[in-house]
């Protein structure tokens, strides 16, 4: 069965951080400015309120306010709201609200906290899908959430027309090929691991849900475009420069790492919502050194013509 008629997602989708003021309140003006910066620099879509967006600390009302601000600033690019709730009931309710608010799609996770088995996981995804008409990107990240959505499970769920894409973040590069061998082109596959992105794109992923794109959108987009054009050696040049930065997204402190990187590169806020705290001491020094070293060696993208 093919994906939802007419719905294809490809390219670089920015998983934005949630900008906050000094009181740890959501700064919607800064969210809009953030999205405008991403769109101006060529990204193909925006995903809000994900793990990097501190979803676990946001209320449903805050998520809807953020999604609305993102939609306003996205210039017609697809906007996906992340649905990562503690219960299937709450996830379905948020999905319904997202549809009513005119979102373009959802990125859907297993239910949080409780580690579901195969039957429970599939039932969760089916229930949420049937609560909305929106197309859905299914997010698989067993490292973070202890639930693995296997290629065989994707084959079983292929009869749900709302499921159009997969964000593959298992950390196992073999999984891209296993999915394609199991379900063919039924889903658009996005890589969700920054420091496996080039490998994933070369193996058949059509998109990249990126984190360090928050600070470096042009470089992220350039890599994707070069791979799509078959210009792998040139993509590899940028990727090797980018790799120390991309490693910052694969860390328990990835939110703080990316927000600090954004602050150094763009002057945005480093404020995170507790229980997270901003980096300090040796942790902060390490990130600052990585970012400033990368900036000093930043590639001239003009020579690639993308």
| Residues with a known catalytic role | 139, 167
Which tokens hold the place of 60? Answer: 């449903």
Q: Please, which residues have CB within 8 angstroms of residue 84's CB and are 6 or more apart in sequence?
A: 50, 51, 55, 56, 91, 108, 109, 112, 139
For 80-99, b where at least 16 C-beta lie within 10 A, e where not — what string? bbbbbbeebebbbbbbebbb
Instruction: Please list, in sequence order, all residues whose beta carbon lies within 8 angstroms of the beta carbon of residue 25, skipping any fewer than 6 positions away.
Output: none
Contact by Cβ (8 Å): 218, 301: yes
Q: Which helix (H) or strand (E) holds 193?
A: none
d(CA 150, CA 282): 39
């Amino acid at each position: 069965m093919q994906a939802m008629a007419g719905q294809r997602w490809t390219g670089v989708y920015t998983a934005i951080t949630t900008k906050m003021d000094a009181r740890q309140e959501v700064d919607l003006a800064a969210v809009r400015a953030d999205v405008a910066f991403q769109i101006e620099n060529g990204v193909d879509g925006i995903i809000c309120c994900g793990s990097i967006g501190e979803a676990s600390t946001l209320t449903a009302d805050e998520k809807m306010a953020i999604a609305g601000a993102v939609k306003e600033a996205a210039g017609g690019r697809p906007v996906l709201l992340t649905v990562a709730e503690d219960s299937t009931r709450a996830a379905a309710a948020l999905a319904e609200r997202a549809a009513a608010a005119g979102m373009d799609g959802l990125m859907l996770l297993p239910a949080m906290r409780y580690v579901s088995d195969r039957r429970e996981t599939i039932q969760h995804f089916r229930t949420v899908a049937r609560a909305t008409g929106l197309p859905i990107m299914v997010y698989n990240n067993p490292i973070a959430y202890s639930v693995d959505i296997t290629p065989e499970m994707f084959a079983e769920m292929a009869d749900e027309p709302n499921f159009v894409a997969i964000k593959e973040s298992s950390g196992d590069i073999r999984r891209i090929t296993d999915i394609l061998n199991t379900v063919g082109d039924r889903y658009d596959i996005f890589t969700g691991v920054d420091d496996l992105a080039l490998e994933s794109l070369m193996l058949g992923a059509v998109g990249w849900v990126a984190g360090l794109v928050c600070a470096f959108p042009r470089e992220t987009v350039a890599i994707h475009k070069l791979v799509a054009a078959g210009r792998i050696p040139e993509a590899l040049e940028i990727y090797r420069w980018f790799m120390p930065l991309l490693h910052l997204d694969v860390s328990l402190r990835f939110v703080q790492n990316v927000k600090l990187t954004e602050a150094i590169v763009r002057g945005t806020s480093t404020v995170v919502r507790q229980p997270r705290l901003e980096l300090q001491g040796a942790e902060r020094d390490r990130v600052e050194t990585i970012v400033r070293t990368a900036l000093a060696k930043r590639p001239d993208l003009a020579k690639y013509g993308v």
